[in-house]
Chains A and B, each alone.
Chain A
Amino acid sequence: MEEQDKLLNEVTQREYQYGFYTDIEMDIIEKGLNEDVVRTIWEKKNEPDFMLEFRLNAYRKWLKMEMPDWAYLKIPPIDFQAISYFAAPKKKPQYESLDEVDPELLETFNKLGIPLEEQKHLAGVAVDAVIDSVSVKTTFKETLAEKGIIFCSFSEALQEHPDLVKKYIGMAVPVGDNYFAALNSAVFSDGSFCYIPKGVRCPMELSTYFRINAANTGQFERTLIVADEGSYVSYLEGCTAPMRDENQLHAAVVEIIALDNAEVKYSTVQNWYPGDKDGKGGIYNFVTKRGVCRGVSSKISWTQVETGSAITWKYPSCILLGDNSVGEFYSVALTNHHQQADTGTKMIHIGKNTKSTIVSKGISAGVSDNSYRGLVKVLPGAVNSRNFSQCDSLLMGDKCGAHTFPYIEVGNKSSIVEHEATTSKIGEDQIFYCNQRGISTEDAIGMIVNGYAREVLNKLPMEFAVEAQKLLAISLEGSVG
């Protein structure tokens, strides 16, 4: 009991200490974007000098760039001057109790099996001290510190570990890489930073921690993960609960650096609000995710389950620089109603004997459009490299679209690139077969779709694989028969 009281005390007094978002007093600055705004962000956040240069450089590049139009997406015009580029202070809880929350949202939470306390957090209900999760967080943080692992908000990292950030920021995604990455580099508000020291195996999925904070993710987030020589980390981003946000545009950047013999496994479950059945009000998600396998025999593995957002523009990629390095991309992207997704990967083979694997499973329903876009590029020096790509599309109904855009460039003769693609329709026969065994149509669809995506789901950490399975089934409710 005493233990609990102590904990409770700690919690109420230092609620944000273990969170990702430093609780700075913030005022919203004028809408619009110019050099002064960039400067103000830097000033207010009290960042080191190199960050001003970084941000301004990015802003100047962004000014000269145009929004990309090559994706198979219909993107409504975005007024970048109508956005306020400084993170608003944390919202006050909107509700006093769960009774006030949209019952439909609660039903989804229940179907996903999200614990009650977490439901409150996600729905924006005032929460009492969440003993469980906070105590988990505390022990968590201690365990990490013992191993010398740094895991904190980006703002904190800039204060506490500026040299590390300076050394690696922009290494995977240069400021002028693309329109949205440039914008993010100029104005990003916060995000997370993770450093695993030499030879350390991170003893837990960096996920429980993140999940609690997931509801507060910013509009322009930045994540930097550095795995030093011989280290390993598995990192999970996102949340299966449907996430609403008043900001329509999201442009995040994730960078991963893996040094010699290091391995990073990055898993995402993305379920941003996709808009209503007519597609109104959904989130536009333009993300740049890239990992550099800098060291020999390093490995970066992306696993993503994408079910949300009105528009998804996302290509988690690997630059295989070190000899014998390995890149992997496992993806399930589901679109329903009016959702549009253009997603895939780039595998750039530079080092010798580099290997990459791509497994993409698209699922389209309703009147949605789902595209896979992938580049496999093997440079002349990347001798004896290998790629295997498998891109499957599953269609539900006949009003949706599935598209595959593979680009393959091989610069030497000793490398082998294989590409396989299939398109299939969810079978009435399969559904009827399940029905005939006493399984409802809804459950049957969930089962069939999960079977189709199994290869990718198997790559997720166990706990999230289970949630992701439910999520796929729920996202397709009412889409057949």
Chain B
Amino acid sequence: MLSIKNLCVSIEGKEILNGINLEIKPGEIHAIMGPNGSGKSTLANVLAGREDYEITAGEITYMGEDLMEMAPEDRARKGIFLSFQYPVEIPGVPMVNFLKTAVNEHRKFKGEKPLTAGEFLKVMREKKALVEMDTELTNRSVNEGFSGGEKKKNEIFQMALLEPKLSILDETDSGLDIDALRTVAHGVNALRSKDNATIVVTHYQRLLDYIVPDHVHVLLKGRIVKSAGKELALELEEKGYDWIKKENGEQV
């Protein structure tokens, strides 16, 4: 589904990712962990097509196509979804309008008829139930005045509406209370299928108790320095990153 080869990315001349390699197959869940500033969000943003970054080397293939050639909105329409670490507020734009536009753009791309307001509201009601999204929130402007946790919930709610093929969850767990974490994780699992894949960026094992990864990767200074099964997350929880840093010849 997704194949990243030797990806090097810099911003304002500073190299942030240097040589990422990653293969993701349909049905898989990959967890990416790593210390603050190691480049996790950068990787997520580059996959989603954010333009501030300069890709200096490497290639990314998504469903057989060169991802770098695609505009961000086309990546979204082709099934890439990013749950933002810091979702932005868009004052004055009602959630419902925003979501309906997004859903209908996806439908148009697939050659489907746009949903009418009535049809959309029905779909919305179903998906809201999935993540226990409060109606009071969907009546507001996009993310406006949402608490940190509500914003994260809203991301997964949108994921449920857009039914992506490749979801990238950038620290969706941070800011969620214990119950919300369970609800959100439950939502993500409910959306799982053998055809779609998920990348989970997180700092904590806790989320991975619910969303069980097939692979865990450790990102350090812009490189994936260790990959293993789900047990790696447990080990990191216990020992932190120092031992990995040492293994990679860093002063600790």
Q: Give chain A's interface residues, CB within 8 Å of chain B.
A: 427-430, 432-441, 443, 447-448, 450-455, 481
With A432-B50, A438-B102 known as contacts, the answer to whether A448 contacts B93 (CB < 8 A) is: yes
Across the interface, do A443 and B91 meet the contact criterion of CB distance under 8 Å? no
Q: Which of B48, B52, B109, B142 contacts A436 (CB 8 A)?
A: B48
Please, could you name 29 A-B residue pairs with CB atoms under 8 Å apart, sorted by A?
A427-B88, A428-B51, A430-B88, A432-B51, A433-B84, A433-B90, A434-B98, A435-B71, A435-B73, A436-B48, A437-B98, A437-B162, A438-B76, A438-B77, A438-B109, A438-B162, A439-B73, A440-B105, A441-B73, A443-B101, A447-B90, A447-B98, A450-B92, A450-B93, A451-B93, A452-B91, A453-B92, A455-B92, A481-B51
Instruction: Determine how close the nearest CB of chain B comes to the CB of A451; give it in whole angstroms.
Output: 3
Q: CB < 8 Å: which of A430, A440, A443 contacts B90? A: A430
Partner of A452, one of B72, B77, B92, B101: B92
- For A481, the chain B residues whose CB sits under 8 A away are 51
In the complex the two chains form, is A447's CB within 8 Å of B93's CB? yes
Question: B106 is contacted by which of A434, A438, A441, A450 (Cβ under 8 Å)?
Answer: A438
Minimum distance in angstroms from B220 CB to a CB of chain A:
27
Closest to B72 in A: A435
Q: A441 — which chain B residues lie within 8 A by C-beta?
A: 73
Per-residue 0/1 for B174-216: is the Cβ within 8 Å of any A Cβ (1 yes, 0 no)? 0000000000000000000000000000000000000000000
Known contacts A438-B73, A438-B76, A438-B77; decide if A429 and B102 are in contact (CB<8 Å): no
- The answer to whether A451 and B105 touch (CB under 8 A), given A433-B88, A435-B76, A436-B72, is no
List chain A residues, Cβ under 8 A from B49. Answer: 435-436
Within B67-126, the residues touching A (CB, 8 Å) are 71-73, 76-77, 81-82, 84, 87-88, 90-93, 97-98, 101-102, 105-106, 109
Q: Does B141 contact A (CB under 8 A)?
A: yes
Q: Does B158 contact A (CB under 8 A)?
A: yes
For the complex formed, measure the closest distance between the CB of B164 and the CB atoms of chain A, giving whole angstroms. Answer: 10
Q: Are A437 and B93 in contact (CB under 8 A)?
A: no
In the assembly, what is the distance between CA of A432 and CA of B85, in Å? 13
B contact residues vs A (CB 8 Å cutoff)? 48-52, 71-73, 76-77, 81-82, 84, 87-88, 90-93, 97-98, 101-102, 105-106, 109, 141-142, 158, 162
Q: Give me the 10 closest cross-chain CB pairs, A-B, nearest first.
A: A451-B92, A451-B93, A437-B102, A435-B72, A454-B92, A438-B105, A438-B76, A429-B88, A438-B77, A435-B73
Nearest neighbor of A449 in chain B, beta-carbon distance:
B92
Which residue of chain A is the closest to B91 with respect to CB atoms? Answer: A451
Chain B residues, CB < 8 A from A432: 48, 50-51, 72
A453–B92 CA distance with the chains assembled, in angstroms? 8
The complex places the Cα of A439 from the Cα of B142 at a distance, in Å, of 14
Residues of A within 8 A of B48 (CB): 432, 436
Assuming the contacts A432-B50, A432-B72, A451-B141, asked whether A439 and B101 have C-beta atoms less than 8 A apart, the reply is: yes
Contacts of B109 in A (CB 8 A): 438
Contacts of A430 in B (CB 8 A): 88, 90
- Looking at the complex, which one of A433, A450, A452 makes contact with B87 (CB distance below 8 Å)? A433
CB distance from B39 to the nearest CB of A (A): 18
B90 touches A448 (CB 8 A): yes
Which B residues lie within 8 Å of A453 (CB)?
92
Q: When chains A and B are docked, how far (Å) is the Cα of A453 from the Cα of B158?
A: 25
Task: Name the residue on B nearest A451 (C-beta).
Answer: B92
| Complex interface: chain A residues within 8 A of B102 (CB) | 434, 437-439
- Residues of A with C-beta under 8 A to B84: 433, 436
| Cα A389 to Cα B93 with chains together (Å) | 22
Q: Is the CB of B82 within 8 A of A436?
A: yes
Q: Other than the known A438-B106, A447-B101, what 17 A-B pairs have Cβ atoms closer than 8 Å?
A: A433-B90, A434-B90, A435-B73, A436-B72, A436-B76, A436-B81, A436-B82, A438-B73, A438-B77, A438-B109, A438-B162, A439-B101, A440-B73, A443-B101, A450-B92, A452-B91, A481-B51
Complex interface: chain B residues within 8 A of A448 (CB): 90, 93
Nearest CB in chain B to that of A424: its residue: B91
A454 to B142, CA, bound (A): 14
Q: How far does the alpha carbon of A432 sit from the alpha carbon of B51 in the complex, in Å?
A: 9
Complex Cα spacing A441 to B88, Å: 16
Give complex CA distance A437, B90 in Å: 13
Q: For the complex formed, measure the closest distance between the CB of A206 and the CB atoms of chain B, giving whole angstroms.
A: 29
Contacts of A437 in B (CB 8 A): 76, 98, 102, 105, 158, 162
Contacts of A435 in B (CB 8 A): 49, 71-73, 76
How far apart are the CA atoms of A454 and B72 in the complex, in Å? 27
> CA of A430 to CA of B144 in the docked complex: distance in angstroms?
12
- How far is B105's CA from A124's CA once the two chains are assembled, in angstroms? 36
A443 partner residues in chain B, CB cutoff 8 A: 101, 105
Contacts of B77 in A (CB 8 A): 438
- Complex Cα spacing A454 to B77, Å: 28
Question: Which residues of A are found within 8 Å of B52, using beta-carbon distances?
Answer: 428
Q: Name the residue among A439, A440, A443 with the largest chain B CB count within 10 angstroms.
A: A439
Which residue of chain B is the closest to A443 with respect to CB atoms? B101
Question: How far is the CB of A465 from the nearest CB of chain B, in Å?
Answer: 13
Interface centre among A433, A437, A443 (most CB of B within 10 A): A437
CB nearest to B80 among chain A residues: A436
B108 to chain A, nearest CB (A): 9
Cα A441 to Cα B52 in complex, Å, equals 15
